[in-house]
Amino acid sequence: MTNHLGDMQLSEAILIMGANPAVNHPVAMQHILKSKETNKAKVIVIDPRYTKTAAKSDIFVRIRTGTDIPFMYGLIRLAIKNGWTDKDFIRDRIYGYEAIAAEAEKWTPEQVASVCGCKAEEVELVARTFAAAKPGCLIWNQGWTQHTIGTSNTRLGPIMQMIFGNMGKAGGGCNILRGHDNVQGASDMCNLSDSLPGYYGLAEGIWKYFAGRWKVDYDYLLSRFKSKTMMESTGFALSNFCWGVLDEQNAENNAGTGLKALVVIGNGITTVTQTHKVKEALDKLDLVVFIDPYVNDAAVITDRTDNLFLLPAASQVETSGSVAATNRSYQWRSQVVKPLYEARPDHEILFDLAKRMGFYEPLVKSLGKGGGDYQWPEDATREMCDAIRSIGLQGITPERLKSQQENWHMFDRVTLAGYGEMAGAYYGLPWPCWSTKHPGTPVMYDVSKPVMQGGGMGFRENWGVEREEADGSKVSLLAGNKPAGSSVAAGYARMTGDNIESLGIKLTDEEREKVKGKNFATDATNTLVDKALAAGLCPYGNGRARAVAWNFPDKIPMHREPLHSFRQDLVGTYPTFPDKKNHFRANLRYQSEQDKEEWVKNYPVNVVTGRIVMHMGTGTETRASKYLAELSPEMYIEINPQLAGKLGVKDGDMVWVYGTSEGKIKVKAVYSYTIDENSIFLPQNFSGVWRGENLANRYPEGTAPYAMGENSNQVTSYGYDIVTTCPETKCTLVRIEKA
C-alpha cells in the first residue's frame, strides 16, 4: 500500500477494482465517503457485481470476472492517445514503458468491450473521468489477487497509476486493503514460504546475516534442514499444501517425502480453493494441530479420529505487542484482560513446543540479555527492528510505538502528521522508518519532500544499474529525477560498502571497515543508512520502476483467460500458461487443466465469490456471535431471476451447486439483480454444513457457532496464480440443479 486510508480524502477520483470496501473494509469506506463529501471525489467502481460499494459510486461498470487487465489497458490506451499521461514521470522513472504502450494499442474500447462484456463508451467515460482527477487513487483487494494472473493484475495497476501521473503523490497511489489487522505484519514477518522476515531471500548470504542477528551459528541453522538445497528452496504454500499430502509425485520436490503434519495458527484454511481436497489432506496427515481462540472450521470437516489437537489461543485483547496496519504503520496493542480459562498466548504455546523439540535456547538467544532473560513482547519488537533493514523497520521501537499509543489524538487524521509532543513523526511510523530519528513514510515514492521528512524516495534499485537489451544496447535502470534534498543529481544505486564513497559520502577508516561487504539491508551497524540519510539519500537507491519484468512468466502483464473460462471462444486467443513443475513444491496444472474439456458446456454458470459485512473470513468468530448470526443466519446464493427462471428455480428454493472438481454444496437460492444473468454470487463466510449434512455434533460441547452453512470453496475451481500460487477463487464455473 503506497499511501494510506486518510490520504484518500485528498483524492479527486477513487478507482475501485477487485474490492468491495463497503462490505469488507468499512473503516476504509468511511474515508472514501468523506472524500466524496468534502473533496467532491468521483468514485468509480469496476466489478462483476453491483455491490454495496457500487451503490455509492458515481460510475459503475460491470465486467466479466478475470478481465481486469484488458480494461486497464483500455484506459492506458486512451490516456496515451489523448495526451493524458505524465510524460516527465514516464521518461524519468519507468523502464519498459514502450512495451506497455504497444500492448495497450491492441485494446481499443471496442475490443475491451468485447472481452470484458461492458460497453465501449463506459471505457471512455472511466478513462476521461480518471484522467481529469489530479490526483486519482487506485484501490484493489482479493478480487485482483485470486486469479492465475493475479500477479499481472497487481503489476498493471501500479503501471497504470504511474502513466496517469498518480504515483508518489498525496491522494494518489495504490491502496491495497488488507482483510484485518496485522495481515501486513504477518507478511512483513515472513508468514510466507518463499522468504525470510522482511522479504529477504533464501540465499546462503541472507541465512548467514540472520544467523548473526539471531546469535546462532549458520551451521546450526543448516543442520535443521535435510540439505542446503532444501534450506534455500521455497516451501509449500497455504493454497497448495494439500497436494503435498495427496499427490505422491510432489514428494520429489520435498526431499523425497510427502507432508506428514500440519500446524495451523489462527488461519481459516477453508478459505482456499477446493475445501474438499483440504479435507482429504487433513484426513490423511499423521498429525494435525489447530491453535486458535475458536474451533477452526477445518477441524470439524475432517473425519480423522486421532492425532487431532485443538490448542486454545488467547485473543487479541488478552495479549499485547506490535501489529501492522494495511498502510505499513505499526501500532502498539496493550493487554486488556489476562487470558481466560485454558487459553494461552501464541508465543507461550510456541515456546513450549520449542522446549519439547529441543531448540528453545537458540530460539530466544537474541532476545533481551539472552538465555531466556527477556521482556516479552518488547524484546521481540526490538529483535524485529534490529534485523529487518530491507524495508526500514529500524526506527519502529517499542518506546516510540507506546508513546504514539498514549498520544494518538495528536496526529492529523488525513496526513498522519504529528503535532505538539508528537511533531516530527507520522502516526504508526509507516515503513520505511530508517532510524529512530526518521518520521516514517506515509506516501511511498514521493520525491517532493526530503527523505528525513518522510519523502525522498525513488523506486528501489533492485535489479542492477543497467539492462542489456536483445539488440545489445544498454539501458539505464537508474532514475532521471532528483528527489528533494538529494545530494545526487539523479538516479543512484542502493547503498553498499563498495559504492557509498562514490556518491560523495566520506567514511572514516573505522566506518569503512564496518561496512565492508555489506549493503544497507545487511549492515547491522546502520552506518550506511545513517550516512545516506545525512546526505539526503534514500538507502535503497533511486531506480526506475520496471514495467517490463524479465524474470516473470509474462514480462509485461498480459490477459489470459481463466482455466475455467466462461468465454470458450477466447481461450485460443488468450490461452493460459504452460503447466508448471515444482511451483511452491507442487506440480501444478495450467494448460492441461484449461484444455481438459470445454468446461462451460457442463458447468455453464459463472461464479463471483466474496465476503458479507456481517461475517469476517471464514466466519469462525462472527458466526459465534448471536447478534451477527441473527443478521445473517444461513448460507445462500444470489441468482439473477432471469437465470433462475431458465433453471426452474424459485426464490427460496434449495439447490445443489456442482463445481468443476467434484465439489458440491446445498444452499438456498435468493433472487438478486446485483448479479448478471450468467452468474451467481457465493459468500465465503460459512462452514459447519457439509454437502447437506449439519456438522454441529462435531464441535466440542458449547462451541458450535449460531450460524452454520455450506463452505463455498467446496465448489471453487482448481487454479493458482502463476507467481504466488494464490488460489483462483474468483474465476469458477458451476452447474446448478434444483434440490
- Of 591, 624, 602, 641, nearest to 703 by C-alpha is 624
Say what the pLDDT of residue 266 is: 83
**Distance of alpha carbon 672 from alpha carbon 655, whole angstroms:** 15
Using pLDDT thresholds of 50, 70 and 90, give the confidence band for residue 541: very high
Tell me the pLDDT of the chain averaged across its residues.
95
Alpha-carbon distances, residue 21 vs 42, 140, 579, 611 (angstroms): 16, 9, 34, 10
Contact call for residues 281 and 586 (beta carbons, < 8 A): no
Say what the pLDDT of residue 557 is: 98
Least confident span in 534-543, 616-625, 699-708? 616-625
Look at residue 523 and give its three-state secondary structure: coil
Question: Is residue 298 pLDDT above 90, yes or no?
Answer: yes
Say what the pLDDT of residue 192 is: 85
What's the mean pLDDT in 64-76?
98
**Distance of alpha carbon 382 from alpha carbon 368, whole angstroms:** 9
Look at residue 183 and give its three-state secondary structure: helix
- Answer with the residue of higher pLDDT: 179 or 210: 210
For residue 723, give the C-alpha cell: 507467481
Question: Is residue 406 pLDDT above 80, yes or no?
Answer: yes
For residue 430, give the C-alpha cell: 509507516
Q: What is the DSSP string of 609-624?
A: EE--TT--TTSTTGGG
Say what the pLDDT of residue 526 is: 94
Say what the pLDDT of residue 179 is: 75
> Using CB atoms within 10 A of its CB, is residue 626 exposed (0-12), middle (13-18) or buried (19+)?
exposed
What's the mean pLDDT in 547-568?
97
Least confident span in 220-224, 360-364, 368-372, 601-605? 368-372
Q: What is the pTM of this model?
A: 0.96
Per-residue model confidence as pLDDT tens digits over 628-684: 999 999 999 999 999 999 999 999 999 999 999 999 999 999 999 999 999 999 999
**Distance of alpha carbon 559 from alpha carbon 115, whole angstroms:** 10
Per 3-state DSSP, the chain is made up of helix, strand and coil in percentages (nearest 5) of 35, 15, 50
Owner of C-alpha cell 516510540? 400
